[in-house]
Each structure stands twice: as structure tokens, then as C-alpha cells.
Amino acid sequence: MTTLTGPSVAGIDDQRNANHKLMIALDVDGTLVDHDGHMSAGVREAARGVVAQGHDVLIATGRSLNATLPVIEQVGLERGYAVCCNGGVTLRLDPALDAGYEIIHKVTFDPAPALKALRERLPSAKYALEDEKGNFLSTERFQDASFGVEAVGVDFQTMLEATAVRVVVFSSENTPEEFSTAIRQIGLAGVTYSVGWTAWLDIAAAGVTKASALEQLRRRLGTHRSRTLAVGDGRNDIEMLEWAARGVAMGQAPEEVIAVADEVTASVYDDGAAHVLRGLL
């Protein structure tokens, strides 16, 4: 009598599911939530549906850790990974951990050269810095929801002496166009930066982007490049949309973001992210 050996039916099903699993990177502000921080029921349900199907859904945001955690909870992510601070911080999610997560990667840099150059050109701008311990230091009583914690007011010299994960610059006295022009003229070196919707600038360590962090996670997960999908709307999403096999820009994204995307969905106010995610269900 000959006994045939091979994968069980369950094993075959597991392999089939693994072959169909996607790595899905989702931006937060302007993608999952609108510019008032509201996530619609449609987006929440679609995101939860994709998570429930077993895909590797990752939040990839410019927000800091504490401002990212509520979004992770809303979309029903308990296990997996998340990228914060535009790639500066990577989390592993696991309900067995005391806090439900752990930081597995953090990239810091010396902010002093960039801060000095910016201060000289934009002396009236507001500056904030996330240090290596997750604290926020700021000038001009600068506070933003993306920080996730209350910023501590400090003098500029204290900021120059800190080690940074993320630096934020905001000017209420310049138009977005004036601000962007000033940043280009400064010619920041040794850092990675992106200009936001308003006169807003995010700075990370050189070479650090959402895409760089996601690529590390793709290798960790063993996902083929062809199984990657990213959805975003901001200039800080450009590298991520280029990285993904399928990069989807939100309908309200700036022209330079749409230009690098493979396709464009509806705007955040028309649940564009939900349209993309429902297509996976």
C-alpha cells in the first residue's frame, strides 16, 4: 500500500490565501479622515472589512505615534504594523503587548543645521520638534493635533540642542506659495522634507520617507512588490505612491501627487478611500 504525502486541504487554503494577501498602506489626513479629523462611516466600514479579510493593512502617516493610535483603533487594527512621523517611527501592533504596540524602528537626526537655516529665512514662523523620547518641544505656543501630546514651550536654543525624530514648521504670515518658495530658496540639506497643504513643513532624517519604512516592512512580511497598494493625498505621499505597485491618489490631491499615481479615486469628502477598499472586498 502506498501512502501519498502532501499539503493538507487546510494547508492548500492557507497558501492560496497567502498568495492573495495584499500589503495596503493608507495615509490618514486627507485620506482616511477629512481635514477636520473626521472618518466617515463608509471609510471605517470598508477599512475594517479589508482588515477582516486578512490583508496586511498598514497606517502610514505623518502624524506622531499618539495621534496615530486612535486611527488604528477606528479601523480595527490589532495586529500588524504602522508607520508614523513620515517613516521616522515604525510600530508593531500586538494585543499581547502591554500597550498593544511596540516601537521597532526609530530614526533620529540633528535638527540644528536645518533649524538655523529656516529661522534665518522665516524668523516669524512657529517651530516644533519631536525628540527621541516622543516629547514635543515648541516655540510660539505651537500646538497641533498631529502631535498627539501637548507640546512643551522652549526657547530656540533648546530645540537646536535636541535630537529629533520629526520637525514641523508652520507660518501663519505666509501664503502656501510664498512658504514653498522660501523653502526651495533655503535649499535644505541632510534631511528629507515635504510641504503640506498650507504654509506647513515636515522634516525627517535624510532618506526617511513613508516609502523607506514601508519597504523595510515589505521585506519583513515577505510580500511581493506586485502585491502592494498605497492610497494618499499629500506631497509626503509621493514616494509611497511611487513605491507601491498600485498607487492611488485622492481626488483632491495636488497635481504633483496625481502625476505619480497609477490612478485617482474620489476626494476625501466623497469617501475616495472607501471606493478603493470596497473594490478589494
Please say whether the beta carbons of 244 and 228 come within 8 A.
yes
pLDDT at 13: 36
pLDDT score of 58 more than 50:
yes
Spell out where the chain has E strands.
23-26, 56-60, 80-84, 89-93, 101-106, 126-131, 136-138, 152-153, 164-170, 191-195, 200-205, 228-232, 246-249, 263-264
pLDDT score of 11 more than 50:
no
pLDDT score of 9 more than 50:
no
Banded model confidence at residue 1, pLDDT cuts 50, 70, 90: very low
Distances (CA, A) of 41 to 29, 47, 248, 278: 16, 10, 21, 13
- Output DSSP code: residue 71: H
Of 133, 51, 62, 132, residue with least CA distance to 93: 51
Which residues in the chain are classed under CATH 3.30.1240.10?
Answer: 112-205
C-alpha 149/C-alpha 27 separation (Å) is 20
Q: Percent of the chain having pLDDT more than 90?
A: 74
Banded model confidence at residue 19, pLDDT cuts 50, 70, 90: low
Mean pLDDT for all residues in the chain: 90
pLDDT at 16: 38
pTM value is: 0.88
Mean pLDDT computed over 129-155: 90
C-alpha 62/C-alpha 27 separation (Å) is 8
pLDDT at 176: 77
Banded model confidence at residue 173, pLDDT cuts 50, 70, 90: confident
pLDDT at 124: 86
Between 181 and 267, the higher pLDDT residue: 267
pLDDT score of 241 more than 90:
yes
Q: What SS3 class is residue 124?
A: coil
pLDDT score of 21 more than 80:
yes
pLDDT score of 108 more than 50:
yes
Reported as a single tens digit per residue, the pLDDT across 242-252 is 999 999 999 99
Which residues in the chain are classed under CATH 3.40.50.1000?
Answer: 10-107+209-278
Q: What CATH number does domain 10-107+209-278 carry, 1.20.210.10, 3.40.50.1000, 3.40.50.720, 2.40.110.10? A: 3.40.50.1000
Phi and psi at 242, nearest 5°, equal -70, -35
Q: What CATH number does domain 112-205 carry, 3.40.50.300, 1.10.1040.10, 3.30.1240.10, 3.30.460.80? A: 3.30.1240.10
